[in-house]
Amino acid sequence: MASVVDVLYTDLCIRHVDLDHAWNQERHRTQDFSCASSSSSSRVLVLRRGAPFRVTLLLKGRPFNPHTDTLVVKALLGRLNVTMPVTFSDKGSPSQWRAYFDPQQGLNPQSPSVFICSPAVAPVGIYGLQMFLSTPRRRRRKRYSICNFTLLCNPWCPEDSVFLPAVDQREEYILNDSGMLYMGTPTNMSTRPWSFDQFEPDILESCLNLLQVSPQHIRNSGEDCLQRSDPVYISRVVSAMSMHTHIRLLTHFMRCCFCVVPLQINCEDDRGVLKGNWSGDYKQGVHPSTWTGSGDILRRWAKTGFHPVMYGQCWVFAAVMCTVMRVLGIPCRVVTNFNSAHDTNGNQVIEEFYSETGMKLHLSKDSIWNFHVWVECWMTRPDLGSDMDGWQVLDPTPQERSGGVFCCGPAPVVGIRDRRIDLLYDVPFVYAEVNADVHTVVVRQGQVLSYTTDTERVGCLVCTKAVGVPRPQDITGDYKDVRIPDALHMSRSSAMSADSTTRRSSAKGLSVSLSLDSARPIAGEDVCFTVTVTNRETVAKVILEHVNAQAKEYNHSPSDTFWEEHSIISLEPLEVKVLRHQMSPGQYEDVVGDSVINLAVVLKDEASLEYTLASEEFNISIPPQLTIQVPDEGSVGLLKKHTAIVTFTNTFSVPVSGVLTLFGAGLLQNKIQFRMPPLQPGTQEQKHIPFTPRLAGSRMLQATVSLQKDGSVVRGFKMVFVHRHVVS
């Protein structure tokens, strides 16, 4: 036993600090980040602001004496720091950092537990934690470097500006590491599974590096760190960094068919995550349609010294940004706007031009993308007023400059709906994307032959993945005032569930409608449609009919005509005539896949020289070919071995071969690949894949087949619920 003299003359020091990862990260809901580390020793303490965390000190020399000894905690973020004495009370201002001894257990002199609480407005980033111990025998405080910890936003904390009240929405928009991206057309929506991968190895570090290599941080690191308390600021940094741009770049625009695409030069110092490419030539990188998750992109970006990954398009930018925002603790969801307008001159009008034979022409800088994908983030807007709180649009696909930078948002969704074009940021641009009028003009050698206006086409459907289930949720009413036209509601309803689709147009003496027999044409079947012509006058007419089909990418004007028909029609006074047309699989087989078909009919009255046009854009679906089954899926448990059965069916009319890839965040450690032998039409290839889940909850198992014949990708997915504890 130590004597009184030994106790008096033995000084006090900290021998060890227990960070209690499991206890802290369970309470901060960050435990899944720890599962991404390969060993417990390499785990980083990941925390959320506005909530206390605990560290326990193992002292050496003598017990802690609260009457003579003092303990001070210091948190450092870059060149910023804050110092707080450790007190015996957990009371204090929620807007300030606090440190206090365990309020429940009291002071344990040999091994005191210290709670440290950051304010709900603390900047996001990687902090250093130091402690300073003062004793009567030591003139200077002894400094101990304890650890580094990562601090994120906290949507569970009511004082945080990203607080999200609904429990199921926090699960979906922060913790869900998989989702659905919606593409195609509003009447024939295609679903693409996506793995956000926020809890996979190296992703947390990559997302934090994105903030560190941003132009804002390089220009003024202290100011940047201070501003990271504000999700509005963070979201604009991430939006700009998702794309290969730089605020100091000399930029010019390259006309890419019907769409205007930014082309950057002198980009050597740009560290954006992705390089955009809509040219069709992807030899220098990866075809945007090949990506299936954010993890591969972010890891590749980090491993190459933060050089932009090639290539991305709108849905890839949005999905990667969603990953980054969820990692940083800001609720985020991916949103698709169908028939999305790019109004280049800000007049809320999109002009489209057709020839007299129904061929769409490249005569306007305005454009309508069949779909455009962005994200919404949840946050308060003290800079705009509390009525603008809630979901905010952020578009990481650069189309225009915002504050000198190629980014868009955050624009409050409610401000877009209410047409508050006076608000920050970029409300007029997003408003036009969902509300612009479409002026369709038929021209011949510069002469206008007909002119019509469509007020419902743009933004006819805005959707996102529904909470908790893999299906779309219609959120068009968030962007448009649904009290105005009933027709808009009908348009949205048909977009989600229609079996057929019709486009109408009328002039003084004629009206015409173009109607697909099925809004969801299937590859391998005839595409059938009708043209209904109405003579609105009491005189007979002779009509020239021109029907034209062109293939297009989702954001381009169409290419050359691949199918057309012409006929002469006689109409009796006030007669309605139905004309049937069809395209065989052999006529459209070269445009199946990600392409969209622009179909137009132009009628010419031979007597009055009056022209009337109706058009429709549609895509052709490929039947499901790839399925995943998990036998006894109700018993899938954490860290237990299970098997998935993957089946690929060749529904093509020719033999195919390719590479089968299986992957799943939290389910498989690495991707598994097999080279498939040539499969005859109608035959199957089946694989049994073992997997051992390392994350509990709902997880997505994905499979793809990259076909050798044309490089196209067939996709399949299966949602698997992993039980933390399985009862035998």
pLDDT at residue 489, rounded to an integer: 44
Query: At 84, which helix (H) or strand (E)?
Result: strand 80-87
**First CA to last CA across the chain, in angstroms?**
53
Candidates 21, 28, 244, 372; catalytic one: 372
Other C-beta atoms closer than 10 Å to the C-beta of 641 total 9
State the residue range of the domain holding 516. Answer: 499-618
Number of domains in the chain: 4
Report if residue 492 sits inside a domain: no
Candidates 395, 426, 437, 478; catalytic one: 395
Q: Report which residue type is found at 61.
A: G
Of residues 702 and 41, more confidently modeled? 702
CB contact at 8 A, 401 and 413 = no
Say whether 650 sits in a helix, a strand or coil: coil
Residue 642 known to be catalytic: no
Of residues 553 and 345, more confidently modeled? 553
Tokens 């800001």 belong to residue: 330
Give CA angle at 243 (238, 247), nearest 5°: 80
Report if residue 557 sits inside a domain: yes
261 pLDDT higher than 60: no
User: Mean of the pLDDT values across residues 214-221?
Assistant: 93
Candidates 157, 225, 257, 314; catalytic one: 314
C-alpha–C-alpha distance, residues 534 and 505, integer Å: 11
Provide the mean pLDDT of the chain: 87
Report if residue 199 sits inside a domain: yes
Is residue 426 left, alpha or beta, with left meaning phi > 0 and alpha meaning psi from -120 to 50? left
Residue 342 known to be catalytic: no
Whether residues 331 and 411 fall in one domain: yes
Report if residue 354 sits inside a domain: yes
C-alpha–C-alpha distance, residues 576 and 535, integer Å: 6
pLDDT at residue 594, rounded to an integer: 75
Q: Report which residue type is found at 555.
A: N
Whether residues 307 and 218 fall in one domain: yes
pLDDT at residue 400, rounded to an integer: 66
Q: What CATH number did the domain enclosing 310 receive?
A: 3.90.260.10
Asked which of 118, 152, 186 is the last residue of a domain, the reply is 152
pLDDT at residue 257, rounded to an integer: 32
**pLDDT confidence bin for 244, thresholds 50/70/90:** low
User: Mean of the pLDDT values across residues 322-334?
Assistant: 98
**pLDDT confidence bin for 499, thresholds 50/70/90:** low
pLDDT at residue 404, rounded to an integer: 56
Q: Which residues contact 721 (CB under 8 A, 6 or more apart)?
A: 633, 636, 697, 698, 699
Tens of pLDDT, residues 161-176: 999 999 999 999 999 9
Tens of pLDDT, residues 380-429: 999 999 999 999 999 998 666 656 566 788 999 999 999 998 888 889 88
User: Mean of the pLDDT values across residues 603-629?
Assistant: 91
Whether residues 205 and 223 fall in one domain: yes
Q: How would you label 592-625 residue by residue, b for 16+ Cβ within 10 Å and e otherwise?
A: bebbbbbbbbbbbbeeeebbbbbbbbbbbbbeeb
Q: What CATH number did the domain enclosing 12 receive?
A: 2.60.40.10
C-alpha–C-alpha distance, residues 92 and 90, integer Å: 7
The answer to which of 1-5, 101-105, 619-623 has the lowest mean pLDDT is 1-5
Of residues 7 and 95, more confidently modeled? 95
List the 461-465 sheet strands across, edge first.
411-412, 390-394, 367-379, 332-342, 461-465, 472-474
Report if residue 486 sits inside a domain: no
Q: Which residues contact 286 (CB under 8 A, 6 or more apart)?
A: 309, 310, 311
Whether residues 428 and 509 fall in one domain: no
pLDDT at residue 727, rounded to an integer: 57
646: which strand partners?
628, 687
Q: Report which residue type is found at 439.
A: H
